[in-house]
Amino acid sequence: MTLALIDYMAEKRVWFENQLPLVFQGTPVTPKLKQAMLYSLQAGGKRIRPILLFATLTQLGKSEELGLSTALGLEMIHTYSLIHDDLPAMDNDDLRRGKPTNHCVFGEATAILAGDGLLTAAFQVIANDTKIDVSSKCQIMGMLAIAAGPEGMVGGQEDDLEAEGKTLQLEELISVHRRKTGKLIRFPVEAAAVLAKATETQTAALVRYSEHLGLAFQIGDDILDIAGDEKKLGKPIGSDLTNQKNTYVSLLGLEGAKEKLSQQVNAAIGSLREAGLEQGYLADLADYLLHRTY
């Protein structure tokens, strides 16, 4: 990972996180519910999805401000999914990003409502964006609904649950992860292309890049669940094994999963080359997935 990318990610993370407390500012939300939503929304993390949106806009020659509301909505949806993932009925985790999970602090009922609130308010944030035209706004909200809903993340999560205790073939596992993780990695890149009015050729190449990136991200998560540092990750390792989940490590072995990760990263960078975008933060972000430790 280049020093330029490290500095860029740190700068954009601080800028983005400074906007998060403003999301519910002045809104008539029940105090405990607002506290629960902000507790998880402000809990930290890599903010890789918003940064992907900002980096894509930058490489397409547009201001990152253009994508701020979209990035906020996306992060709200990602955060809701983590709150629900951690619930006893799902992964039953006590730690997230080094802090007690939402239901451990606020109780299961409020945690469920906090997730529901973040999901629905995400579309309100994008709908209220005054920086983008109505046509782009509608397109982006439709794309986000598909990426997060039963055709995307939610459907992938259900398939992942159904596969527990079974052994999937590699292509079946890839199909699950294209939806469970990949759709919300693809979305910020494709949304940035919409906002920047990118050409069809650029958009198609960026979509291919994001799909390879999404698989690389999931493979990296699977590797870290076995070989990661619990203190850096901020959550227990080995939960996939405990829950009998299908992972790239369980199917391919640790070295095989690392090789698959390298293949996906190289394919992502190759897709950028097709669009003439191989120099910049997007390629650096792909390379970062090869070496990340949390």
Please state the rounded mean pLDDT for residues 105-109: 97
What percent helix, strand, coil does the chain show, rounded to 5?
A: 75, 0, 25
pLDDT digits (tens, 9 = 90+) for 110-135: 999 999 999 999 999 999 999 999 99
Q: Domains in the chain, start-ordered, CATH in brackets?
A: 3-291 (1.10.600.10)
What's residue 278's pLDDT? 86
Residue 100 phi, psi (nearest 5): -55, 140
What's residue 289's pLDDT? 86
pLDDT digits (tens, 9 = 90+) for 80-106: 999 999 999 998 999 888 899 999 999
End-to-end CA distance of the chain: 14
pLDDT category at 273 given cuts 50, 70, 90 is very high
Question: Do 68 and 19 touch, CB atoms closer than 8 A?
Answer: yes
The Cα 157–Cα 177 span in angstroms is: 9
Q: What percent of the chain has pLDDT over 70?
A: 93
The pair of structure tokens assigned to 105 is: 């602090």
Q: Quote the mean pLDDT of the chain.
A: 91
Q: Label residue 280 left, alpha or beta by phi (over 0 means left) and psi (-120 to 50 means alpha).
A: left
pLDDT at 71 over 70: yes
The Cα 192–Cα 168 span in angstroms is: 34
pLDDT at 144 over 70: yes
Please state the rounded mean pLDDT for residues 194-210: 95
pLDDT digits (tens, 9 = 90+) for 234-255: 555 656 655 667 899 989 999 9
What's residue 5's pLDDT? 87
The Cα 116–Cα 129 span in angstroms is: 21
What's residue 51's pLDDT? 96
Please state the rounded mean pLDDT for residues 188-203: 96
Cα angle: 115, vertex 109, 28; to 5 degrees: 60
pLDDT digits (tens, 9 = 90+) for 274-289: 888 988 999 999 998 8
* Secondary structure class of 95 (helix, strand, coil): strand
Closest C-alpha among 269, 281, 156 to residue 210: 269
pLDDT category at 78 given cuts 50, 70, 90 is very high
